[in-house]
Amino acid sequence: MHRHGAKVDRVHTGKAAAAPTPGRAAGVDDVGVHLSRANSPVEPCQSGAPLRREASECVAGAIPLCYGRSVSVAEWNRELEHAPPEGIIAWAWERFRPDVMLTCSFQHDGVVLAHMLHAIAPEAPIVFINTGFHFPETLAYRDEIVRRLGLRLVELEPIMPRPEFAARYGLDLYARNPDLCCHINKVEPLKRYLPSMRAWVNGRRRDQASTRAAIPIVEELQGGLYKVNPLASWTSKDTFYYLERHGIPTHPLFEQGYTSIGCAPCTRPPLAGGDERSGRWAGQAKTECGLHTFLEPKAT
């Protein structure tokens, strides 16, 4: 039983597994994987004024799929630039199913997308990378959202057990070499899971930071993986309005002034005059954990 009460089936073989089967939501190599789905029914969402377009309107057929002819990613981006996030998710599911996943750190962006994706494809995995350094509030909030929405949670863990990590690197590695710390605890677990997927949905937005200002809706990466950014054109206000309209609670740390939440040692409220992510790795040159930079775009 998970310490916060959510039922979790755990798979952690400790040895290399066979090559992953495309579309199978299981561990790849020896990465730790937790599969969880809340037993309680999904709680009804509150109704309210429409936000752009409803998910029920955003069927994949409303967006050209361009089957039967060669289509460039640039053309996809032209078609999807002004589509609502629900429509973009429906498009991705129609084109790449069942090999579609969402990475979710249970900030407001990820929770919005989890709610949308679950409405379209409840079987799609919601992937959470448990680094072992999360705020207790994040873990409690994750469990509440999984239970409330009935999500299918896939939890990835670092291969290296915490005692071995501490003995080899020390628990202050985040301060001495944050890139290595993120690589071991975040990038490597995801790296082992991604080969089973064709589309990776995530919650990046253009207004989060200058480093994200130009992200497209769809990116083609090396290895045939497509990264889908349904909220690229949204703002933070859009995401909070969506949660409020659907009766979904927000992360408790947002009420304490946090605007971007990662691992506890490397997260603080934003700097005065800084962007939304300025409280991440504050005082260091680091701006990204590496999840969105370790895969190179496909050469064109």
For the chain, what percent of residues have pLDDT higher than 70?
Answer: 66
Q: Which of 104, 181, 182, 289 is catalytic?
A: 289
Instruction: Find residue 34's DSSP bridge partners.
Output: 10, 155
CA pair distance 239, 15, nearest whole angstrom: 40
Instruction: Find residue 100's DSSP bridge partners.
Output: 199
pLDDT-derived band at 16 (thresholds 50, 70, 90) equals: very low
Mean pLDDT taken over the chain: 75
Task: Assess whether 289 carries a catalytic annotation.
Answer: yes
Answer whether CATH 3.40.50.620 is correct for domain 25-37+57-266: yes
pLDDT-derived band at 5 (thresholds 50, 70, 90) equals: very low
CA pair distance 89, 282, nearest whole angstrom: 33
> What is the largest distance, in Å, between two alpha-carbon atoms of the chain?
55
Task: Say which residue, 107 or 7, is predicted with more confidence.
Answer: 107
The residue written with tokens 């005082």 in the block is 283
**52-56, 202-206, 276-280: range with lowest mean pLDDT:** 52-56
CA pair distance 218, 88, nearest whole angstrom: 9
The domain limits of the chain are 25-37+57-266
Please report the pLDDT score of residue 111 as a whole number.
Answer: 96
Task: Say which residue, 137 or 4, is predicted with more confidence.
Answer: 137
pLDDT at residue 25 is higher than 60: no
pLDDT 10s digits, 185-215: 888 899 889 888 999 999 988 887 777 788 8
* Bond into 195 cis (ω within 30): no
CA-nearest of 281, 258, 274 to 176 is: 281
Instruction: Find residue 127's DSSP bridge partners.
Output: 103, 154
pLDDT at residue 40 is higher than 80: no
